[in-house]
Chain A
Amino acid sequence: MIPSSFPDRELIAELTAKMLLEIDAVHFRTDKPFMFTSGLASPVYIDCRKLISYPRIRNTLMDFAASVVMRDVGFENIDSVTGGETAGIPFAAWLADKLNLPMHYVRKKPKGFGRDAQIEGSSIDGKKVLLVEDLTTDGGSKIKFCEAIRTAGAEITDTVVVFYYDIFPEAHENLEKIGLNLHYLATWRDVLSVCKKQKYFDAETLIQVEKFLDHPLEWSGANGGATEISAINKKD
């Protein structure tokens, strides 16, 4: 069913953060940090793939995503909801269903040859595509997906994710370079805010997490990780 209500952005962000915490998708580790794709050490990790196992939560989040897309992208501006392999695929399927639109998915690497070698589904040539992924860190994965979608002849100007890190200036630069508008439901700041209000995690952990969110490169360097984000490879 196509949703016709448009919840307030702050409410969407807070509820999304609460849901992610409720299902233990949020992980904070200050002693044994995680490593991002870019080589940065991080005390935070979020596993949005867990959402697929919680139908009430995923249904609500997809209602939110549909409302964000219709409000910010438009009601008739999309011909295809296209998921990015792998985590974006189930979310694209549910969102396409909500919006009553065709669904496709885009592979990380070509399968075979030809313009459509990374696209699964019917041809997207000449279509306006919305790219769906579970999250965005520095926008790196969007570059290759956009290239593949454009190579297949489609137009893409917008992407929607459940979660956006919103801590790397490079993300804005990367997305701007490829002409992509980012839409999202919640960020780390929203999660941190709920953690503080509802006493998730201990105080010292939250202090470290906030330090990382404020100065991710410095925190990474002090904890054995890279001090700059590695360049995104143009070719495989």
Chain B
Amino acid sequence: MSMLELVQVIEEQGKGVRAYSECARICQERLNTHPDQAAGYYLLKIAANRFVDAYDDQPLLSQTAEDEFQSYKHYADQLEPLHVSSDLNEKLDAVNRVAALIANHKHLRSSV
């Protein structure tokens, strides 16, 4: 399973909190079984858990869920070099870029 396949898991499971929770669980499994890509899976696990923490027990509008999904998909896209590239600098760049994106991401509270 590549990073992008995690995105499919979220999409197939409806893009809700439960889908991200499952995604975080898979990331944990993958970072243990794929130590060469552990940093990428760990970042995606952090992003998935942050979604769960932000929206579990909170109102979530469908549009917000879609926006959050696109952000998550972007992280996975950016981390794809970890899966396909043999260039260590390219991998390190990808990890640093995504770490900054996740760290600066603001979860929006859906107004009701």
Contact = CB atoms under 8 A, between A and B. Distances in A.
Interface of A: 27, 29, 32-41, 45, 47, 86-87, 108, 140, 223-226, 230-233, 235-236
Given A32-B62, A34-B61, A47-B59, A39 B15 contact: yes
B60 A39 contact: no
B46 interface: no
Given A37-B56, A45-B112, A236-B25, A230 B18 contact: yes
Contacts of B79: none
A33 B25 contact: no
28 contacts: A27-B59, A29-B61, A32-B61, A34-B62, A34-B110, A35-B15, A35-B62, A35-B65, A37-B17, A38-B18, A39-B13, A39-B14, A39-B15, A39-B16, A39-B19, A40-B14, A45-B59, A45-B112, A140-B18, A223-B62, A224-B62, A225-B62, A226-B14, A226-B16, A230-B14, A230-B22, A236-B21, A236-B25
Contacts of B25: 233, 235-236
Contacts of B18: 37-39, 140, 230-233
Nearest to A135: B57
Contacts of A35: 14-16, 60-62, 64-65
A230 B16 contact: yes
A41 B66 CA distance: 12
Given A37-B17, A41-B62, A226-B15, 7 more contacts: A34-B60, A35-B65, A38-B14, A40-B14, A226-B14, A230-B18, A236-B21
A46 to B, nearest CB: 10
A158 B56 CA distance: 23
A231 B18 CA distance: 8
B99 interface: no
Interface centre among A38, A230, A232 (most CB of B within 10 A): A230
A33 B57 CA distance: 16
Contacts of B17: 37
Interface in B57-108: 57, 59-65
B7 interface: no
Nearest to A133: B57
Nearest to B112: A27
Nearest to A25: B112
Contacts of B64: 35
